[in-house]
């Protein structure tokens, strides 16, 4: 991936940070993007050949500014996501809108920022981080699930639009990964989850990063429109 520039959203921690490290280790110049400038700065210091930009995916202006600062992007990893869980019956429209705006619309607007450059280069990798729940559904997460299922549909449509320009578009659907998002789960809930995972463990951010690194590589040049499940066998 030498001479390639990768832009990773939600890169200040968890899966995004692991993806940034993996792509840097493969030789890419990495731009870390997220909302928390101090965390980004600290993360970037430990990753060789990396820089960072502030990015709020709920803001179209912030997206434009971040990508203008980034310049040419060869590999885009759409990882940033938020949750605002609640039963559909009582879900506030603001909570629905906020999750869709960041997780789905923000990802789409980020893609729009890089397409022209990739088309000119006739090379590009777009990798959208979806979720196991985007494939299975999950009670109490109608907004999050809809956003992650939407990313899968977006991936498949864009893969068809961009294939003639040698731009691949794929999704990675993580299962339950040991991150800040799952750290808040109760022990009972974790035990119940593990009972449904054939590999009997939560995933590590590095498990997802390895899949992202592969899909961004030349070895994956003939893979597009694919959803790569990295879930320990929880959903097949």
The set of catalytic residues is 144
- According to DSSP, residue 3 is labeled T
Measure the CA–CA gap between 155 and 127, rounded to whole angstroms: 8
Judge contact between 81 and 10, C-beta under 8 A: yes
Measure the CA–CA gap between 81 and 31, rounded to whole angstroms: 17
Count of CB atoms situated within 10 Å of the CB of 140: 13
Closest to 126 in 3D by CA, of 8, 1, 2? 8
Judge contact between 55 and 35, C-beta under 8 A: yes
Task: Give the list of residues 6+ apart from residue 116 with CB closer than 8 angstroms, or none.
Answer: none
Residue 121's SS3 state is helix
């Amino acid at each position: 991936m030498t001479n390639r520039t990768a832009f990773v959203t939600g890169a200040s921690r968890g899966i995004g940070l692991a993806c940034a490290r993996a792509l840097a280790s493969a030789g890419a110049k990495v731009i870390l993007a997220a909302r928390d400038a101090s965390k980004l700065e600290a993360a970037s210091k430990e990753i060789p050949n990396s820089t960072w930009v502030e990015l709020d995916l709920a803001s179209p202006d912030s997206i434009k500014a971040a990508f203008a600062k980034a310049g040419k992007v060869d590999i885009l990893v759409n990882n940033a996501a938020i949750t605002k869980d609640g039963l559909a019956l009582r879900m506030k429209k603001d909570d629905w809108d906020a999750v869709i705006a960041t997780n789905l619309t923000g990802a789409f607007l980020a893609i729009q920022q890089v397409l022209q450059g990739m088309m000119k280069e006739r090379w590009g990798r777009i990798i959208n981080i979806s979720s196991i729940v985007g494939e299975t559904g999950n009670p109490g997460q109608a907004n999050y699930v809809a956003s992650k299922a939407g990313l899968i549909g977006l991936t498949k449509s864009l893969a068809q639009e961009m294939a003639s320009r040698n731009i691949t578009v794929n999704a990675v659907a993580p299962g339950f990964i040991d991150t800040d998002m799952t750290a808040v789960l109760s022990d009972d809930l974790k035990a119940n989850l593990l009972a449904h995972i054939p590999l009997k463990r939560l995933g590590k951010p590095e498990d997802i990063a390895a899949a992202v690194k592969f899909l961004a590589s030349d070895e994956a040049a003939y893979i597009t429109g694919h959803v790569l499940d990295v879930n320990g066998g929880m959903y097949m």
